[in-house]
């Protein structure tokens, strides 16, 4: 069944074949050495990352230090979550809508030195400040806002300031819990 083939090589040819096989073996060993060098460099980098921020020592000490830092961070995170809850509770009443208009209240005055300023929270509660600036005097009026309206009559400039405040308001912020 099987045939035996006898191969006869000249000594010169056999020598070149041996050199070629040795060269291929050396190249294969170089490739393996390069791969091992890369792997060693990666392991050293991972080890440096593991011991970063520690006093060194054995693996048990390093892991203990990391665990302590993790527990401290967890406590800090819980404190921050509590603070975020407090801030979310007061956010609806914070001034979030601001609208302002400058105008010239008197024909004999140059420039827009008078203004109306609307300040409101998320639901439109706040106030409108109305300043009239003339040559000899300046007057400031404040009117309350509830639900974007006032129980007092508002001048056209005040209404425009309220309209701008309502349009410029910040959307409701949703914080991840």
Question: Is 112 domain-assigned?
Answer: yes
Pairwise CA distance, residues 44 & 148, whole Å? 64
Pairwise CA distance, residues 105 & 111, whole Å? 9
Pairwise CA distance, residues 38 & 30, whole Å? 12
Question: Is 68 domain-assigned?
Answer: yes
Same structural domain, 83 and 107:
no
pLDDT (tens digit, 0 to 9) for every residue of the chain, 177 residues total? 667 766 666 888 888 888 999 999 999 999 999 999 999 999 988 888 777 767 767 778 888 888 898 999 999 999 999 999 998 888 888 888 999 999 988 877 767 889 999 999 989 999 999 999 887 788 999 999 999 999 999 999 999 999 999 998 655 544 443
Query: For the purposes of burial, counting CB atoms within 10 Å of the CB of 18, is it exposed (0-12), middle (13-18) or buried (19 or more)?
Result: exposed
pLDDT the model gives residue 175: 40
Pairwise CA distance, residues 175 & 177, whole Å? 6
Pairwise CA distance, residues 78 & 70, whole Å? 12
Same structural domain, 26 and 67:
no
Same structural domain, 101 and 86:
no
Same structural domain, 80 and 141:
no
Same structural domain, 111 and 154:
yes
Question: Is 1 domain-assigned?
Answer: no
Question: Is 175 domain-assigned?
Answer: no
Same structural domain, 106 and 162:
yes
Question: Is 135 domain-assigned?
Answer: yes
Question: Is 143 domain-assigned?
Answer: yes
pLDDT the model gives residue 170: 56
Provide the domain count of the chain: 3
Query: For the purposes of burial, counting CB atoms within 10 Å of the CB of 113, is it exposed (0-12), middle (13-18) or buried (19 or more)?
Result: middle
Same structural domain, 129 and 80:
no
Same structural domain, 46 and 111:
no
What secondary structure letter does DSSP report for 71?
A: H
Domain span at residue 65 reads 57-92
In this structure, the number of other CB atoms found within 10 A of the CB of residue 115 comes to 18
């Amino acid at each position: 069944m099987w045939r035996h083939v006898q191969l006869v090589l000249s000594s010169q040819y056999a020598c070149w074949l041996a050199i070629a096989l040795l060269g291929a073996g050396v190249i294969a060993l170089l490739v393996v050495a390069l791969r091992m060098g890369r792997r060693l460099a990666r392991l050293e980098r991972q080890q440096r990352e593991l011991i970063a921020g520690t006093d060194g020592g054995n693996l048990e000490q390093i892991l203990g230090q990391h665990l302590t830092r993790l527990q401290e961070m967890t406590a800090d995170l819980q404190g921050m979550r509590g603070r975020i809850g407090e801030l979310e509770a007061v956010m609806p009443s914070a001034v979030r809508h601001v609208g302002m208009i400058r105008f010239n209240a008197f024909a004999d005055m140059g420039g827009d030195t008078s203004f109306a300023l609307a300040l409101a929270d998320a639901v439109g509660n706040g106030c409108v400040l109305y300043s009239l600036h003339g040559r000899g005097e300046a007057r400031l009026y404040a009117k309350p806002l509830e639900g974007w309206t006032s129980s007092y009559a508002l001048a056209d400039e005040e209404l425009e300031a309220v309209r701008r405040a309502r349009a410029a308001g910040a959307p409701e912020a949703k914080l991840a819990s």
